[in-house]
Amino acid sequence: MPGDNIIVGISQEILSVFFDPLKRVYWVYLLSAAAVAFVWLKFRRNLSFFSAIRKIFSKASWWNTSARADYCVMAVNSALMSVISPKLLGQTAVAYLVFEWMHTLFAGRPQTLEYLPQWAMMAAFTVILFVLDDLARYVVHRMLHRVPVLWAFHKVHHSATALNPLTVFRMHPVEGVIFAIRGALVQGITIAVFVFFFGSKVQLLMVFGAGVFNWMFNAFLANLRHSHIQIGFWKPVERVFISPAQHQIHHSISEHHHDKNFGVALAIWDWVFNTHCHSNTQEKLVFGLSAESTEESHRLSLLYIQPFLEAFRTATSPIRRLREVRKTATQNSLP
């Protein structure tokens, strides 16, 4: 039956993220994150073997109201994005357009630098793509907080009152589209520029089909960012790399944590742009949008519909204020 096929397709789409090495929640990365958390709890927090295991896999952390909402949002978004994603601008299209534009800009293609060693080109491309991609993530993330219309949608992610690795999927589809376009633009432009100047030898240094730096990030840090395990680094290291505890600070409702640690992998952007905050793993953090967050904040209807209503009110508020000013001026001008 058609309905059964749809359900099977959605189920396969959801489960595929756990078996795709390019996805953050690939099962190998989840296991490696659990191993890192265990080592931290065992040797840094001095917990016993079984206490560390219970801490990592506690039901209170994985099956609370907020976590169940995460799982539902993940399922709904998987279905929506499977329809939306093929229609979005892809990195291949961006690369082609930029590549052709550069031919016009430079009146042809200059002599490529293919005489450079293969390892040098691969290393340069891998590092530059990773750095530019991370910077773009920082910029877009900060805009999601600073632009009121965008914040209306990003609030869905921050409405989580407990964190687990699947909280990364707690994202309004509008935000998902924004980040998909961001990735296509940054990656497409970088690929086009490198191929234009360096020729067809441009390749990534890859592990499991992913860029080596993205692989390292996904394998050891990514799934601990949204978790109940506070893992911090030495302060000098936290000026360069975002620790899991630093990202957990980003989700804190404390006023002195607001608009801090926007970075994804690199902390240097936060340091340079004065949004950096060191972690304190002894500090108890409260997550969510406010201390008054209730179970109502995890309702799917609220997570999907409310952002559109709030964004509309925010976008039209200048028009309403202008009308009120004109109305007041008209009333004051009457005899």
The predicted structure's pLDDT at residue 322: 73
pLDDT digits (tens, 9 = 90+) for 180-196: 999 999 999 999 999 88
Q: Which two tokens stand for residue 29?
A: 């990365």
Tell me, yes or no, whether 293 lies in a domain.
yes
AA letter at 9: G
Contact 217, 131 (CB under 8 A): no
The predicted structure's pLDDT at residue 101: 92
Q: Report in angstroms the alpha-carbon separations of 40 from 34, 54, 55, 211.
A: 10, 14, 11, 26
Cα angle for residues 146, 148, 152 (degrees, 5° grid): 115
Bridge partners of 211, per DSSP, are 206
The answer to whether the predicted template modeling score (pTM) of the entire model surpasses 0.95 is no
Tell me, yes or no, whether 180 lies in a domain.
yes
| Residue-number span of the structural domain to which 95 is assigned | 2-316
Tell me, yes or no, whether 169 lies in a domain.
yes
Tell me, yes or no, whether 330 lies in a domain.
no
Cβ-proximal residues to 320 (8 Å cutoff; 6+ apart), any chain? none
126 by DSSP, 3-state: which?
A: helix
The parts of the chain modelled with pLDDT lower than 50 are none
Tell me, yes or no, whether 335 lies in a domain.
no
Q: For residue 142, count other CB atoms closer than 10 A to its CB.
A: 17
The predicted structure's pLDDT at residue 14: 80
Tell me, yes or no, whether 334 lies in a domain.
no
The predicted structure's pLDDT at residue 6: 62
The predicted structure's pLDDT at residue 211: 87
User: What is the domain count for the chain?
Assistant: 1
Cα angle for residues 66, 301, 2 (degrees, 5° grid): 105
